[in-house]
Homo-oligomer: A and B are copies of this chain.
Amino acid sequence: MKTDTPTAGTGQHCAEVRRGRPRSEAAEQAIFGAVEDLMAGGTALSELTIEGIAAAAGVGKATIYRRWPNKEALLVDVVSRLEEPLPEPTGAGARADLIALVDHVRRRGLAKRTRWVLKAALGQMQTLPELYTAYRDRVIKPRREVGLGLIRRAVAEGVIRDDLDLELLNDLLMGPILYRSILWDDSDLEDPDLARKLVDSMLEGLAPR
């Protein structure tokens, strides 16, 4: 098993390259892929073992323990990396940025694998409370902060009224698309105009004018 041997011959100074980088990107990818496959295939988090993951990834247990102290730490990384970076500001104002954020969630929900793994993780986090806490702190909270920052800017730009609670606004804007993408399997997410429709319907209001 050579996957942990640092790649030779790159000509770079290893001290710089090694810091914060996996010794072997390939081994790490194989481990992440194995856990995702196991979760997407229906293995409960509580049934996952370092041994089983190592076997599925085709690496030794030591390769896993060299990077993660325990199963929980590995699972946090697996679930975190399924979250793609949030979209950058479009430069076209708060309404366009809100649509871009909702569309980001829509596209994430379209990826069946992501959906299954997140659903499995969400449903089983009660068996691993540390995983839930880490996921909340590393994934949920930062995403919520980005959403709230965007909403604050939309209020400042006069796109959103200033008399509503920010948390409520966040749930109003993010709730429908998260509901459609995470909760049920058969929801339609394919309409590329869905995010715009959602945001505009919400901004304009559902009551007739």
Q: Which residues of A contact B (CB under 8 A)?
A: 40, 42, 44-47, 116, 119-124, 126-127, 132, 136, 140, 158-162, 164-165, 167-169, 171-180, 182-188, 197-198, 201-209
Residue contact B188 to A167, C-beta cutoff 8 Å: yes
A168 to B44 alpha-carbon distance, docked (Å): 33
Residue contact B184 to A168, C-beta cutoff 8 Å: no
6 other contacts beyond A42-B127, A167-B188, A204-B207, with CB at 8 A cut-off?
A: A119-B122, A120-B123, A123-B124, A165-B197, A168-B197, A178-B183
Task: From known contacts A164-B201, A201-B164, A206-B203, infer whether A126 and B183 are also in contact, taking CB-CB under 8 Å.
Answer: no
A201 is contacted by which of B119, B120, B172, B187 (Cβ under 8 Å)?
Answer: B172
A99 to B47 alpha-carbon distance, docked (Å): 42
Residue contact B168 to A208, C-beta cutoff 8 Å: no
Closest 7 CB pairs of A and B: A123-B123, A205-B205, A175-B176, A175-B179, A44-B44, A42-B127, A175-B175
